[in-house]
Chains A and B, each alone.
Chain A
Amino acid sequence: MSTPYQIVVCGSIVPDPLQTLEPAAGPAGPALKNEMMLPAVLDPWAWHALFEAAHLAKGAPGSKVWLVSIAPKAKLQQVMMIVAQKAPFELVAVDGPSSGFTEAAEAAAILADAIKAIPGLDMKKLLVFGGWESASRGAGATMQIVGERLGVTDQFQGVDKLTVAGDGSMEILERIEGGKHQVSKCAGPPAVFGWATGNLPEPPNNPQTGMMNMRTIMPSLQRAKPAKLGAEGVKFVSVTQPSQRRDTQIVKDTPPDEVAKQIVAWITGG
């Protein structure tokens, strides 16, 4: 019989990747221009972590998935309309900024407190999932600190695959340099997993799952406590967009042989 897990996925929201982002000076430090107007999505790697959590929970009857998220309530509600249809979970919402310019250590403290407050949390069943980096801060730091705050020292980053063996041990594939994976075996929960892309495709929308999730999402959003999240001790000397626009030369109506000649000369340096 498989072990039931308590899987807590940490994930915030980020601006839709298709949006143009510009830095702006805010009252508490750098921010994004028109940040509250930008359409948002669940952070892409946390998105993968959520699918993997749902997949793992489905294969281990009695398991449950929570999504713990620090984000502005109104924006989180919009994103949940989409996310809720993908996988069954219970939302634990914390009302705070989702800016990339906040500190990973401060975010981790808030997330760890939110996880500790989950009723019936059992460390022997706990798997903490999240993206190995966010698309906002991109530090790859938050999950480790969440783990430290929970006392979990079996941690894995850049995870692409998690396989549970018959004895309850877990085999983990983590990305390392040069397009390789490190293979590890962990005795079992508790453990922290910072997911890369994983192996699963995006699940199709399931309106029934969405309806079921919304029963807990709306109350969670209503009772979300405001959290103080900033960047204490950090001085942003500058935040700039790279001046990387190139003067593109467009070559068209040129035979493939001639194009190839130019490319070969460029590659070989002569």
Chain B
Amino acid sequence: METILVLAHTETDGSLAKPALEALGAAKSLGGTLIIGLVGENVQAAAHRIAGCGAAKFLAVSGADFTQARYATDAAAAEAIAKTAGASIIVAPATSRWNRVLSGVAHRLGGRADTHVTAISAAAGAISINRWYYRQRMEAVIQRAQRPWVIALDPGCCEAWQGDAGTATVENVAVALAEAQKRTTVTGVKAPAADQQTIRPDAPLLLVAGAGWTKKQADGQTHVPEAEKLILGFLKLTQASLGGSKSLVDLGGEGQAVLSFMTHLHQIGQTGSTPRHQKGLSTCCHGEEPHTVGWRFVNERRAISLDPNCGWARGKADVLYVADAFAVMAKVNEQLAAKKSA
């Protein structure tokens, strides 16, 4: 029987984020002996929150040095907990903080890591994981001989654990840090102002803008300010998340007219993100393969394009509207505003 460690870090307020609860839910489905490992400045509240999960033990590395998402200290903490737990399987949420360190930790433990895992299952005494290769173009089911096996589970792939809070007794694991492990200091987070943030991972709807928004229209002119107004207006009305095609995002670097709010962080596809939204609306984008691989986990897809033979028409969207996105989105915004004020 496997000993399974769920490795989670707390948020700045001491809570556990949803991906951590998803990792716990997935780990519980595997059976075996469950151990919880927590890292953060103060982990007691988080331990109490999941006290009813049936863990045999709660281990923690805590203190001011472990507030920061920093490789050297996070790796030391995760390594110490894993060694104390003696776990053969380590399940962790694939947050940016854990993604930074887990593969290095697996190396220190003499094990292996699999990242961007989208499913875990146990059958006939074997644990299997699902993960994608070649940027979501093919999916593999894998089993491993190596232990410990670190499994970083992508957020949004499993049901979050739901259970009662209670009282958990936490066993502290001591980690002695050298000064060399504090050469890096996290100084803050850079983010757009709240009312200007257009990346919303939890939004039900994704709007993707393609390079067509900045190209010459039927009158021979570009209409970038109008495009910006339409897109931002739509985002304000729907609270959708914004994505961009690579070609649109790259225009800035090529000195062409750009949408002022579009950055590489918005990029969806081969060299961008693969977000998870229930619905996705593509506008002014051809829907070619390097872009649409980023849509793998968008369930319902619609597109507006002037080209009836674009990639979206070839089985990549549920509905393709062959229409002028400027005209359609203006009407969409009008109708959404009317609906809102009704």
Q: Interface-forming stretch among A62-70, A206-214, A233-241? A: A233-241
Chain A residues contacting B88 (CB-CB under 8 Å) are none
The answer for the CA separation of A158 and B98 in the assembled complex, in Å, is 12
Give which listed residue, B115, B187, B331, contacts A185 with CB less than 8 A. B187
A250 touches B322 (CB 8 A): yes
Contact digits for B311-330, partner A, Cβ 8 Å, 1 yes 0 no: 01111111111111001111
Contact digits for A222-265, partner B, Cβ 8 Å, 1 yes 0 no: 00000000000111111111101111111111101101111110
A263 touches B115 (CB 8 A): no
Closest to A239 in B: B140
**B67 beta carbon closer than 8 Å to chain A:** no
A141 touches B115 (CB 8 A): yes
The answer for the CA separation of A47 and B137 in the assembled complex, in Å, is 21
The answer for the CA separation of A179 and B292 in the assembled complex, in Å, is 20
A18 touches B317 (CB 8 A): no
The answer for the CA separation of A154 and B316 in the assembled complex, in Å, is 42
Closest to B145 in A: A233
Contacts A138-B133, A141-B113, A248-B317 given; does A179 touch B190 at CB 8 Å: no
The answer for the CA separation of A175 and B263 in the assembled complex, in Å, is 12
Give which listed residue, B95, B103, B144, B304, contacts A140 with CB less than 8 A. B103
**A13 beta carbon closer than 8 Å to chain B:** no
Chain B interface size, as a band, is 35 or more
B181 to A: closest C-beta gap in Å: 6
Give which listed residue, B132, B250, B331, contacts A260 with CB less than 8 A. B331
A98 to B: closest C-beta gap in Å: 12
Contacts A183-B189, A201-B250, A244-B296 given; does A138 touch B135 at CB 8 Å: yes
Give which listed residue, B104, B192, B290, contacts A144 with CB less than 8 A. B104
B197 touches A184 (CB 8 A): no
Give which listed residue, A14, A175, A257, contacts B331 with CB less than 8 A. A257
**In B290-342, which residues have CB < 8 Å from any A CB?**
290, 296, 300-302, 304, 308, 312-324, 327-332, 334-336, 339
A136 touches B133 (CB 8 A): yes
Contacts A154-B72, A181-B190 given; does A242 touch B96 at CB 8 Å: no
A197 touches B264 (CB 8 A): yes
**A101 beta carbon closer than 8 Å to chain B:** yes
SS class, residues of chain A in contact with chain B:
mixed
B332 touches A264 (CB 8 A): yes
The answer for the CA separation of A8 and B223 in the assembled complex, in Å, is 43
Give which listed residue, B71, B95, B137, contacts A154 with CB less than 8 A. B71
The answer for the CA separation of A184 and B201 in the assembled complex, in Å, is 23
**A160 beta carbon closer than 8 Å to chain B:** yes
A248 touches B103 (CB 8 A): no
The answer for the CA separation of A246 and B303 in the assembled complex, in Å, is 13
Q: Interface-forming stretch among A52-60, A73-81, A115-123, A145-153? A: A145-153
Closest to B322 in A: A252
A97 to B: closest C-beta gap in Å: 14
B144 touches A17 (CB 8 A): no
B187 touches A20 (CB 8 A): no
B125 to A: closest C-beta gap in Å: 13
**B221 beta carbon closer than 8 Å to chain A:** no
Q: Interface-forming stretch among B28-36, B168-176, B265-273? A: B265-273
The answer for the CA separation of A20 and B96 in the assembled complex, in Å, is 30
A176 touches B187 (CB 8 A): no
Chain B residues contacting A182 (CB-CB under 8 Å) are 69, 96, 186, 188-190
**B101 beta carbon closer than 8 Å to chain A:** yes
A41 to B: closest C-beta gap in Å: 11
**B56 beta carbon closer than 8 Å to chain A:** no
**In A101-121, which residues have CB < 8 Å from any B CB?**
101, 103-105, 108
The answer for the CA separation of A248 and B186 in the assembled complex, in Å, is 47
B232 to A: closest C-beta gap in Å: 15
Give which listed residue, B139, B189, B330, contacts A240 with CB less than 8 A. B139
Chain A residues contacting B195 (CB-CB under 8 Å) are none
Contacts A44-B270, A235-B143, A256-B328 given; does A154 touch B100 at CB 8 Å: no
Give which listed residue, B106, B138, B199, B281, contacts A23 with CB less than 8 A. B138
Known: A101-B140, A140-B99, A237-B140. 18 other contacts (CB 8 A): A23-B138, A30-B140, A32-B134, A45-B271, A138-B135, A141-B103, A153-B180, A155-B100, A157-B100, A180-B190, A182-B188, A183-B187, A186-B183, A236-B140, A246-B315, A250-B319, A256-B323, A263-B321
Q: List the 9 closest A-B pairs by CB distance, nearest first.
A: A179-B199, A201-B253, A260-B331, A141-B103, A252-B322, A245-B315, A144-B104, A256-B327, A233-B145
